[in-house]
């Protein structure tokens, strides 16, 4: 089986929901059960990628993604799409406007997908590590929302900025000077509180006032959020379309695309770049 990591870069608020919840937020985003890390389900990604291949050879599409629902027992699809897990969350910063914030835990999890080793900084207590020449550092402190963290610039983040900057900010590197790694406890607080929450209403057509019971709170991952996932492929099991694992991956995601993920598409939610990260970058 052959694998290929991919990056999802939110260009507008991204709402991958879990339905309703008995909580302050009526429509929360999906979070992993054990860790609480926000994610975009692989089943959603696979469905969107399949729909985007409507102009391709139907035989090859069914070989890669699986047959139609009424023929699901014919054979399995050759493509496996993993969940896209949060990698970096944009958070308001007192200096630099905002920072792409991640943590050692998120970087270690990303290492498994990317094949990287030995490039995760250690942070003792509450604090942050920043690349050299950071625009977010102010007198040895990093100010995120109402958080005040001790911070220092280090060289150990260079492999991550070299890898992610061309994907997160093509055409001009705004990523490296705004990249920040905070401790895991601070990151947990941020992915629970620094998401985008919008009050939504439905207006009664006759009275032009809010319809009864039609006021709700909707949570989204903010624009500029980065998520990472993994595609895996085996050979085709469809006799009429022989495909090697590399052919399956090339069909599923051969180049960067802009696609809509999640719900609320008609309100502009979910416009994202999805970017394949070729195997050759794993040694960076």
Q: What average pLDDT does range 254-260 have in this prediction?
A: 96
Q: What's the Cα-to-Cα distance from 124 to each of 85, 119, 151, 223, rounded to whole Å?
A: 24, 16, 11, 30
**Would you state the pLDDT for residue 202?**
76
195-233 tens-digit pLDDT: 999 888 777 777 777 777 678 788 999 999 999 999 999
What is d(CA 182, CA 126) in angstroms, rounded to the nearest whole number?
Answer: 8
On the question of pLDDT at 279 being above 70, the answer is no
pTM of the model: 0.91
**Would you state the pLDDT for residue 214?**
76
On the question of pLDDT at 282 being above 60, the answer is no
Provide CB contacts within 8 A for 81, sequence distance 6+: 42, 43, 45, 46, 49, 229, 231, 252
Work out the pLDDT band at 96, boundaries 50, 70, 90: very high
Q: What average pLDDT does range 256-279 have in this prediction?
A: 89
**Would you state the pLDDT for residue 23?**
66
Residue pair 138/151 in contact by the 8 Å Cβ criterion? no
**Would you state the pLDDT for residue 281?**
36
Q: What is the mean pLDDT of the chain?
A: 90
Domains and CATH numbers, the chain: 1-16+42-82+223-284 (3.30.70)
On the question of pLDDT at 117 being above 90, the answer is no
């Amino acid at each position: 089986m052959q694998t290929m990591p991919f990056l999802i870069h939110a260009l507008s608020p991204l709402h991958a929901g879990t339905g309703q919840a008995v909580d302050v937020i009526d429509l929360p985003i999906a979070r992993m059960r054990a860790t609480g890390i926000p994610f975009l389900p692989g089943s959603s990604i696979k469905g969107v990628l399949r729909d985007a291949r409507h102009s391709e050879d139907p035989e090859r599409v069914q070989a890669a993604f699986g047959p139609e629902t009424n023929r699901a027992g014919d054979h399995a699809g050759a493509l496996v799409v993993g969940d896209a897990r949060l990698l970096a969350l944009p958070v308001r910063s007192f200096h630099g406007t905002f920072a792409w914030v991640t943590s050692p835990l998120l970087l270690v999890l990303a290492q498994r997908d990317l094949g990287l080793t030995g490039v995760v900084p250690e942070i003792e207590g509450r604090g942050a590590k920043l690349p050299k020449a950071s625009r977010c550092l102010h007198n040895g402190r990093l100010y995120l929302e109402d958080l005040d963290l001790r911070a220092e610039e280090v060289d150990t983040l260079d492999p991550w900025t070299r890898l992610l900057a061309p994907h997160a900010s093509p055409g001009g590197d705004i990523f490296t000077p705004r990249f920040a790694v905070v401790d895991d406890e601070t990151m947990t607080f941020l992915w629970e509180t620094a998401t985008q929450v919008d009050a939504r209403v439905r207006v009664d057509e006759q009275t032009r006032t809010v319809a009864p019971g039609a006021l709700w709170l909707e949570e989204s991952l903010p624009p500029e959020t980065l998520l990472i996932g993994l595609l895996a492929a085996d050979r085709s099991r469809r006799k009429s379309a022989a495909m090697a694992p590399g052919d399956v991956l090339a069909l599923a995601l051969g180049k960067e695309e802009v696609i809509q993920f999640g719900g609320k598409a008609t309100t502009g939610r979910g416009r994202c770049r999805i970017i394949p990260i070729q195997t050759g970058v794993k040694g960076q």
